[in-house]
Structure 1
């Protein structure tokens, strides 16, 4: 029995070392982009994304929003959900084609920004989200890359946005 416990502890230590080592070898920064087509107009999409206070109404992963004091006149908030608090700031807004939300990453294991590009089409709009991310922890870099995937959060956002408009959208990874 003692050998089994020691063997399991060694196996756990080796697995942790491998995860940590692989995480260290990954770059701290990454860029990941996803895109989806919508029947909704660019104006409707822009207004929906920009209204962060209403995100809990259509994004199931966001339980509530807590507003923060404006930063240099720009809106700031904390998204609260199952994955914990995520402090954000709206750093760029060019209606109805571009929004940039930046993570207020002080004390967070990751940071970066999401760039929302909204382009009109003949039947609605195409939305592209580009994540310019930074993952500071080697363990979280491994998890982000190999378990969650860099595209997962933005893909979920676009799927939720489609549901908000009653659309079943196909999310494509942009290469």
Structure 2
């Protein structure tokens, strides 16, 4: 029984320590990654705009559900492990070169946008994703910084997209800007 309480105390102390460190980390960051894909621009555009097919190629995504249009643009829900359901929407779409998506909802542990910029590159496509996130939850801030790294979600997405296209390309990290002005929880 004593070992159970010791383990519980250790677990609580660990969570408190990670939360304390997370509170010291900046809430906001902007990171950008690029990948050169051998597929034509229209093919890449069609895949990244087909939200219904995301589960067929994105790891960890069990299904998507169509959401209501918002300001005339589509929205969808991504259902991951243990039925977590996250609502996303298209904020701006300029085929075939610009797509901006955003997490929808108040009181979420984070808010953010992804800006997809596509350009022809010879017979292939250069895809740049810029992620702008504001992480409200200090524990999530810790994990995003030290476990996932700021490029983690983009890397998984870009590598999975390359694999879907039968490409061996890997992402290149372009920039990272961390906003230190507001570290408060």
TM-score (norm 1): 0.90
Q: What SS is found at the alignment partner of 1:72?
A: coil
Q: What SS is found at the alignment partner of 2:16?
A: helix
Distance, in Å, in 1 between the alignment partners of 2:11 and 2:55 is 38
Superposed counterparts of 1:127-142, under 5 Å: 127-142=127-142
Match of 1:39 in 2: 38
Moved more, 155-164 or 52-61: 52-61
Distance, in Å, in 2 between the alignment partners of 1:142 and 1:126 is 31
Match of 1:27 in 2: 26
Match status 1:49 vs 2:48: yes
Higher normalized contact order (CA 8 Å, seq sep 6+, divided by chain length): 2
Match of 2:156 in 1: 156
Residues 61-93 of structure 1, C-alpha deviation per residue, up to 9 Å, x if partnerless?
222111111111110110112272121001111
Superposed counterparts of 1:75-114, under 5 Å: 75-82=74-81, 84-114=84-114
Residues 72-122 of structure 1, C-alpha deviation per residue, up to 9 Å, x if partnerless?
111011011227212100111111111011000323211101110112112
Distance, in Å, in 1 between the alignment partners of 2:118 and 2:6 is 54
RMSD: 1.8
Residues 104-152 of structure 1, C-alpha deviation per residue, up to 9 Å, x if partnerless?
0323211101110112112311111111011111111111111111211
Q: 1:125 to 1:22 in 2, by over 3 A?
A: same
Match of 1:59 in 2: 58
Q: CA deviation at 1:8?
A: 4.7
Q: CA deviation at 1:172?
A: 1.3
Where in structure 1 are there 5+ consecutive unaligned residues? Answer: none
Where in structure 2 are there 5+ consecutive unaligned residues? Answer: 176-185
More strand by share: 1
How many residues get paired?
174
Kept after mapping to 2: 8 A contact 1:92/1:101 = yes
Moved more, 160-169 or 54-63: 54-63
Distance, in Å, in 1 between the alignment partners of 2:14 and 2:107 is 26
Kept after mapping to 2: 8 A contact 1:105/1:112 = no
